[in-house]
């Protein structure tokens, strides 16, 4: 402790001697103070510069860290979008394959419907031709007297009944089975319900429903009229065929009578009486 006190006393003495020396020379005192101020200013400036450099370096590091995080987030988003694009591309291909499959099956069904519809039409007209041919044959036989009227009616009635049964059966088959899947009916077998119509104006849907119902009634009436007209035409055709057959039979009978009359005078002179 004594050595420390001694050093402090020596420093105090040196300081006091230096102060007394500086007081004796004002210019030297001014230089000393100026040097001390410069040292303090440089020290403070150096501390501030070092502090600023440290803070600025920390700011740069934080900015780079933030930029790295933003770039990483952008890259993650790009990868997510790339995965979404791949998924959408695969989904589009799968949807296209399903659509093509459904379209191909639907087109096949439409072609099958068209072909079978033509076959049914040909079958019905063939049955009509066979019925008319049979009716014509039986009526001609009846007019020639080969068969009686009861036998002719018994033979014609099954033909008419079979033809009517064929027409009814094919129409029911077409309406129940095929028209449910026909591409312009829009019924979809009742699976998807009815198609909603927009409410254009108050009372518009009611008027539309009434119009549709009236059109349906008109179509049913037209179908009934067409059926009646077809039946009437068939009956008239059968009558005309019967009349034609009757006329042909009469002409044949008249020709046979005329030939018999013409042969009778030629054979008369050859007959000789008794001598």
| 72-106 tens-digit pLDDT | 999 888 888 888 888 899 999 998 998 888 888 77
Report if residue 123 sits inside a domain.
Answer: no
Question: First vs last Cα of the chain: how many Å apart?
Answer: 213
Classify the phi-psi angles of 272: left when phi > 0, otherwise alpha if psi is within -120 to 50, otherwise beta.
Answer: beta
Report if residue 122 sits inside a domain.
Answer: no
pLDDT at 161: 92
Report if residue 133 sits inside a domain.
Answer: no
Question: Is-contact 172 179, C-beta < 8 A?
Answer: no
Report if residue 68 sits inside a domain.
Answer: yes
pLDDT at 230: 52
Residue 143 CB burial class (10 angstroms; 0-12, 13-18, ≥19): buried
Report if residue 178 sits inside a domain.
Answer: no
Report if residue 53 sits inside a domain.
Answer: yes
Question: How many Å apart are CA 142 and CA 245, to the nearest integer?
Answer: 10
Q: Say how many domains are in the chain.
A: 1
- Compute the residue count for the chain: 275
Instruction: Please give the residue range of the domain that contains residue 29.
Output: 2-87
pLDDT at 180: 63
Report if residue 117 sits inside a domain.
Answer: no
Report if residue 58 sits inside a domain.
Answer: yes
pTM attached to this predicted model:
0.34
pLDDT at 49: 87
Which residues of the chain are modeled with pLDDT < 70?
Answer: 1-2, 12, 15, 22-25, 29, 177-275
């Amino acid at each position: 402790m004594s050595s420390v006190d001694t050093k402090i006393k020596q420093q105090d003495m040196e300081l006091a001697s230096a102060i007394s020396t500086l007081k004796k020379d004002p210019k030297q005192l001014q230089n000393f103070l100026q040097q001390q101020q410069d040292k303090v200013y440089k020290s403070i400036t150096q501390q501030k510069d070092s502090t600023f450099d440290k803070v600025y370096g920390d700011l740069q590091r934080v900015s780079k860290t933030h930029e790295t995080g933003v770039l990483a987030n952008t890259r993650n988003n790009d990868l997510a979008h790339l995965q979404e694009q791949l998924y959408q591309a695969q989904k589009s291909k799968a949807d296209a394959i399903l659509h093509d499959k459904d379209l191909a099956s639907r087109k096949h069904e439409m072609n099958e419907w068209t072909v079978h519809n033509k076959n049914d039409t040909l079958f019905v007209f063939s049955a009509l031709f066979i019925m008319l041919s049979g009716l014509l044959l039986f009526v001609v036989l009846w007019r020639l007297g080969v068969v009686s009227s009861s036998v002719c009616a018994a033979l014609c009635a099954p033909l008419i009944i079979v033809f009517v049964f064929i027409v009814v059966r094919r129409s029911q088959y077409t309406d129940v089975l095929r028209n449910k899947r026909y591409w312009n009916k829009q019924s979809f077998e009742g699976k998807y319900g009815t198609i909603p119509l927009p409410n254009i104006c108050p009372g518009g849907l009611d008027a539309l429903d009434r119009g549709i119902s009236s059109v349906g009634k008109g179509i049913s009436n037209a179908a009934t009229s067409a059926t009646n007209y077809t039946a009437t035409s068939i009956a008239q055709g059968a009558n005309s065929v019967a009349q034609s057959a009757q006329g042909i039979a009469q002409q044949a009978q008249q020709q046979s009578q005329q030939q018999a009359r013409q042969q009778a005078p030629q054979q008369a002179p050859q007959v000789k009486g008794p001598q």
